[in-house]
Amino acid sequence: MIPNDRHSNTYPLNINGVQRHLPLVKVQPDLAIAVLNILGDTELTEAAAHALNERMAHISYDTIVTAEAKSIPLAYALSVHSGRPYIVLRKHYKSYMGEALSTETLSITTGKPQTLFLDAKDHAAVSGKQVVLVDDVVSTGSTLTAMRALMVQAEAKIAAVAAICTEGDTAQWPEVIALAHLPLFPLSA
């Protein structure tokens, strides 16, 4: 099922009044997804951060946590809008990270296992705190699962999960505060 609009091979997305046409990309022989890439898209990132901040106004939390790399601009913008700090879970260990916590995940975009690291400084900053996990798109949930595992290791409490979009089966993500939902696009062989 490919959308039938003037932008063939795209899917229309409207976030807080900002319209984009997401390219459809084949990720498996029989499946395509609409790819949201906010890197460099300040207008969409700002619109999403503003809307998410409003949707989370009733939630008590101390820190925003995201995974490297595509959702970093969203975490930064949400930090500016909310006045709360943000922390980035890294994909590569660096010596300055000290005694980092780590967990493994299987990325849908790379199709390979990846490790997420929470450095010692950030571990101390989230321990015993209320955090909001932020991602650009929650699709299979593998990154979210890894983020949750690191927060459990760090003894942080997850106050909420927020994303610009969820993807796939909407019933799978009832706890995610999302601004839109992206369907999957089955391809005929």
Q: What is the pLDDT of residues 10-21, one digit of tens each?
A: 999 999 999 999
C-alpha atoms less than 13 angstroms from C-alpha of 70 in its C-beta half-sphere = 14
Burial class, 168, CB count within 10 angstroms (exposed 0-12 / middle 13-18 / buried 19+): middle
C-alpha 175/C-alpha 160 separation (Å) is 8
Residue 61 is part of which domain span? 36-182
CATH number for position 129 = 3.40.50.2020
pLDDT tens digits along 139-189: 888 888 999 999 999 999 999 999 999 998 888 889 999 999 999 999 886
What's the pTM? 0.89
In a domain, 11, yes or no: no
Domain count, the chain: 1
Give the E-state strand segments of 35-156 in sequence order. 63-67, 86-89, 101-106, 113-118, 130-138
